Chains A and B, each alone.
Chain A
Amino acid sequence: MIEVQNLIKEFEGRVVLNNISTKFKEGAVNMIIGKSGSGKSVFLKCLVGLLRPEGGKILYDGKDFLKMKHKEAKRLHRNMGMLFQNAALFDSKTVLENVMFPLDMFSRKNYRERKKRAEFCLERVDLLDAANLYPSEISGGMMKRAAIARAIALNPKYLFCDEPNSGLDPKTSQLIDELIQGITKDLEITTIVVSHDMNSVMNIGDHIIFINEGVKEWEGTKNHIMDSDNKELNEFVFASDLFKKIKEVEETGPETRHPEA
């Protein structure tokens, strides 16, 4: 389980994350939402160790990540998979080599077994046909799928996704969402997704944390997000016309259409 206590992150004296505390739901898709520049990506980077916070605790199964020794932190890293906003596949390797990379580095299995595992992961994301292509030869959606396959190659306990739908069309976005949700359920892992896409939130979010200007404003489930009376959250959620309409329909009932005379 991942628990965060009083997390503080500053950049040159400017507080970006202010006293954030939360518990992520195990075996579920946890979404961190907020406007651009609200601090959600910084929060995610602190969780995975790419940034070191100035204060607070990040507990993985009760152990403070920030106080772990190098070897212990390295072991924990092997239980983490991450999907970056731009996929971050290695340009010089093919899709298959990308997925095999964590196995090559950390698995004691022989080449045939490692390849078989990588092919299984690629099949899981429906990308086996592109195994021998280079990242520059595939589309953005395929890159994201390849990155998911690489992230799950070592059977991680935690999957972190930074804006998985950015730059994708709505249909591909939905596909990636379904993939993240499916993998979370199948592999029984804890997934943390940073997003500002409300469609994603409503599709796959089991537990939602709303961050505004570095402060945790709201936490709950997607069933409660529409009914919240938090002003900042409402401004964020109902910035989209679609959600405004849904809210109106919920409050007033469907608009009556009058047949033309």
Chain B
Amino acid sequence: MSITSTLESIGEYALLLRRVLMPPDRAREFAKEFSKEIYKLGVNSIWIVTIISLFIGAVIVMQIAYNINSPLLPRSTVGSVSREIIILEFSSTVICLILAGKVGSNIASEIGTMRITQQIDALDIMGVNSANFLILPKVVAFVLFMPVLVIFSTFMGLYGGYVLCAITGNPSTDTYVYGIQFFFRESLVWYSLIKSMLFGFIISSVAAYYGYNAQGGALDVGKASTDSVVANSILILMTDLAFTQLMMG
């Protein structure tokens, strides 16, 4: 991708956001769409977040338990380090990367299909701000539901580790729980939630941008969906680096 086309895309994205971030034509219709999106994008993602968090949580604890094996370190360190990893990076960043695939491709393909089947043109001709009507409920719903998913993921990740400790006894569940509680800083949870909301905005708006600008046929909708996942993944990683430097540096 050339610099010119990248700059063009950024400009188009900014112009689209200007149309999206306007008061809705009808609050009643916005509320209707918003509740549908909460269910579709948020509630429907709980199962995948649960499964991934449980297993990765267990694996994180297992890796740390095997690699921190020094008599100088208390075994409760396993719980403390796992907690930090799960709260700071796993639940807020890795889960967002996974949701960039699930939710991002869903948004891009849904809006892309509406574009190529002229449903968006139909909205425009009616005098409806199609960008606002289609994209704003998705962005607001996903941004607001992101903290719920992150909190859920954190609990499931830590619970996955607990289950592993219960099965292997390395460390014991009491030691693990003590480690989780040891020197707990609430600010890290806020950091994680704010970061996830920022990622939620990136995932939903960038995917919507790719879908809204899809042209051609079914193949192009597939391409828009793939491109949105790639762009979202890169943007999440770059934003994570910048955000971490800003907040922790």
Residues of the A chain whose Cβ atoms lie less than 8 Å from the Cβ of B117: 86, 88, 91
Evaluate contact between B127 and A50: CB separation under 8 angstroms.
no
Evaluate contact between A88 and B128: CB separation under 8 angstroms.
no
Task: From A76, A85, A104, give the contact of B29 (CB < 8 A).
Answer: A104
Evaluate contact between B127 and A75: CB separation under 8 angstroms.
yes
B25 proximal to A (CB < 8 A): yes
Residues of the B chain whose Cβ atoms lie less than 8 Å from the Cβ of A50: 121, 124-125
Please count how many residues in chain A sit with their CB below 8 Å of the partner chain's CB atoms.
25
B28 proximal to A (CB < 8 A): yes
Evaluate contact between A84 and B126: CB separation under 8 angstroms.
no
Chain B, Cβ-Cβ closest to A73: B127
Per-residue 0/1 for A80-103: is the Cβ within 8 Å of any B Cβ (1 yes, 0 no)? Answer: 101011101111000000000110
B45 proximal to A (CB < 8 A): no
Evaluate contact between A77 and B125: CB separation under 8 angstroms.
yes
Per-residue 0/1 for B1-41: is the Cβ within 8 Å of any A Cβ (1 yes, 0 no)? Answer: 00000000000000000000000011011000000000000
Cβ of B150 to closest chain A Cβ, rounded Å:
28
- The CB with the most chain B CB atoms within 10 A, among A76, A89, A102, is that of A102
A228 to B128, CA, bound (A): 43
Evaluate contact between A84 and B29: CB separation under 8 angstroms.
no
A48 to B118, CA, bound (A): 14
A86 to B124, CA, bound (A): 16
Chain B, Cβ-Cβ closest to A150: B122
Give the secondary structure class of A's interface: mixed
A47 to B118, CA, bound (A): 16
Known contacts: A75-B127, A77-B126. The answer to whether A84 contacts B25 by CB under 8 A is: no
Residues of the A chain whose Cβ atoms lie less than 8 Å from the Cβ of B28: 104
A49 to B124, CA, bound (A): 9
**A118-138 interface with B by 8 A CB criterion:** none
Residues of the A chain whose Cβ atoms lie less than 8 Å from the Cβ of B121: 50, 84, 88
Evaluate contact between B122 and A104: CB separation under 8 angstroms.
no
Residues of the B chain whose Cβ atoms lie less than 8 Å from the Cβ of A91: 113-114, 117, 119
Residues of the A chain whose Cβ atoms lie less than 8 Å from the Cβ of B127: 73-78, 106
Residues of the B chain whose Cβ atoms lie less than 8 Å from the Cβ of A85: 118
A82 to B119, CA, bound (A): 11
Known contacts: A74-B127, A77-B127, A105-B128. The answer to whether A84 contacts B26 by CB under 8 A is: no
Cβ of A91 to closest chain B Cβ, rounded Å:
7
A-B contact count (CB 8 A): 54
Interface size bracket, B side: 10 to 19
Chain B, Cβ-Cβ closest to A104: B29
A106 to B121, CA, bound (A): 17
**A47-89 interface with B by 8 A CB criterion:** 48-50, 73-78, 80, 82, 84-86, 88-89
Residues of the A chain whose Cβ atoms lie less than 8 Å from the Cβ of B122: 82, 84, 88, 90
**B109-140 interface with A by 8 A CB criterion:** 113-114, 117-119, 121-122, 124-128
Known contacts: A49-B124, A49-B125, A50-B124. The answer to whether A104 contacts B119 by CB under 8 A is: no
Residues of the A chain whose Cβ atoms lie less than 8 Å from the Cβ of B128: 105
Task: From B113, B118, B125, B126, give the contact of A105 (CB < 8 A).
Answer: B126
Chain A, Cβ-Cβ closest to B26: A105
Chain B, Cβ-Cβ closest to A82: B125
Task: From A73, A88, A160, give the contact of B118 (CB < 8 A).
Answer: A88
Chain A, Cβ-Cβ closest to B118: A88
**A17-58 interface with B by 8 A CB criterion:** 48-50
Residues of the A chain whose Cβ atoms lie less than 8 Å from the Cβ of B124: 49-50, 77
Residues of the A chain whose Cβ atoms lie less than 8 Å from the Cβ of B125: 48-50, 77, 80, 82, 160
Residues of the A chain whose Cβ atoms lie less than 8 Å from the Cβ of B119: 88-91
A258 to B125, CA, bound (A): 59
Would you give 7 A-B contacts (Cβ < 8 Å), ordered by A?
A75-B127, A78-B126, A88-B119, A101-B126, A104-B26, A105-B29, A106-B126
Given contacts A77-B126, A105-B128, A106-B127, 7 further A-B contacts (CB under 8 A): A74-B127, A76-B127, A86-B117, A88-B118, A90-B122, A104-B29, A105-B25
Using CB atoms and an 8 Å cutoff, list the residues of chain B in contact with chain A: 25-26, 28-29, 113-114, 117-119, 121-122, 124-128
Using CB atoms and an 8 Å cutoff, list the residues of chain A in contact with chain B: 48-50, 73-78, 80, 82, 84-86, 88-91, 101-102, 104-106, 154, 160
**Nearest 7 CB-CB pairs, A to B?**
A77-B127, A88-B118, A88-B122, A74-B127, A82-B125, A84-B118, A78-B127
